[in-house]
Amino acid sequence: MSDARSSEPRAIVSTALGVGLATAAYGVPFGAAAVTGGLSVAQTQALSLLMFTGASQFALVGVLAAGGGVASAVATSTLLGMRNAFYGLAMAPVLRVRGVRRLVAAQLTIDESTAMAIAHPVAVDDGRAARLAFWSTGISVFVLWNLATLAGALGAGALGDPRDFGLDAAIPAGFLALVWPRLVDRRSWSIALAAGAVALALTPFLRPGVPVLLTSIVAVVAGVQAVRDRTVR
């Protein structure tokens, strides 16, 4: 029993490092895509340091690269990043942090760190494993994502015009790679396909970024329907 308990923190940290490495694989194409889209290396790195939410970063750069306005780019990325606020509500009673640590925890509250924390029930050891999983995963992803972003940005800049090498496709490809693992059931697939159809239908008529914003209506309708289904049952 004691050996199992002593090895658990090591296993958590090891898993957290693996999650960080897997996530960093998307950081390289993001860095390249951002430079391709017209951002400088410094601006690209600032996005990863300050925004630090992959889907929102890809969305922001994608809208700007397509010629969309700053307002629509920011609105799209903000819409995608709002889920982290809900993660924060779930993590607050687990982490129990105050002051500066609370600000750091907010920055590290992402899909991966939240999922790792939730995988360890708080009732088992008063949340020690959950907190270790959160912090180790958040730090691992943050450090490796930023290093990967820098590598991608510097590499793309050294190539001259990255579009000559097809790196402009990194934005949609990277965004798809982030979304794909979340399509786990029929409902999620239905929402994704409906949103895609709405975006394709509106793209010829609206500025870049606006169709993506309007696809949020699909998610709202699906959410309302899900609540109604639960109420009926």
DSSP per-residue codes, 133-168: HHHHHHHHHHHHHHHHHHHHHHHHHHTS-GGGGTGG
Judge whether residue 170 has pLDDT over 50: yes
Per-residue pLDDT of 17-28, as tens digits, reads 999 998 888 888
Q: Can you tell me the mean pLDDT for 4-19?
A: 81
pLDDT tier at 132 (50, 70, 90 boundaries)? very high
pLDDT tier at 226 (50, 70, 90 boundaries)? low
pLDDT greater at residue 173 or residue 86:
86
Judge whether residue 94 has pLDDT over 80: yes
Rounded to whole angstroms, how far apart are CA atoms 52 and 60? 12
State the pLDDT at residue 4: 46
Rounded to whole angstroms, how far apart are CA atoms 40 and 61? 12
Between CA 142 and CA 144, with CA 143 as vertex, the angle to 5 degrees is 95
State the pLDDT at residue 2: 44
Rounded to whole angstroms, how far apart are CA atoms 119 and 134? 10
pLDDT tier at 231 (50, 70, 90 boundaries)? low
Percent of the chain topping pLDDT 90: 28
CA nearest 54: which of 20, 88, 94? 20
The answer to whether residues 100 and 113 touch, using CB atoms and an 8 Å cutoff, is: no
Tokens of 174: 């990277």
pTM for this predicted structure: 0.72
The answer to whether residues 174 and 168 touch, using CB atoms and an 8 Å cutoff, is: no
CB atoms within 10 A of CB 1: 5
pLDDT greater at residue 169 or residue 130:
130
The answer to whether residues 158 and 165 touch, using CB atoms and an 8 Å cutoff, is: no
State the pLDDT at residue 136: 96
State the pLDDT at residue 56: 83
pLDDT greater at residue 98 or residue 80:
98
Per-residue pLDDT of 191-215, as tens digits, reads 888 888 887 887 777 766 666 667 7
pLDDT tier at 229 (50, 70, 90 boundaries)? low
Q: Is 180 exposed, middle or buried (0-12, 13-18, 19+ CB in 10 A)?
A: exposed
Rounded to whole angstroms, how far apart are CA atoms 29 and 42? 16
State the pLDDT at residue 164: 57
CA nearest 207: which of 199, 217, 218, 216? 199
Cα pseudo-dihedral 54, 58, 61, 66, rounded to 10: -170
The ranges assigned to domains in the chain are: 2-182, 184-233
State the pLDDT at residue 142: 96
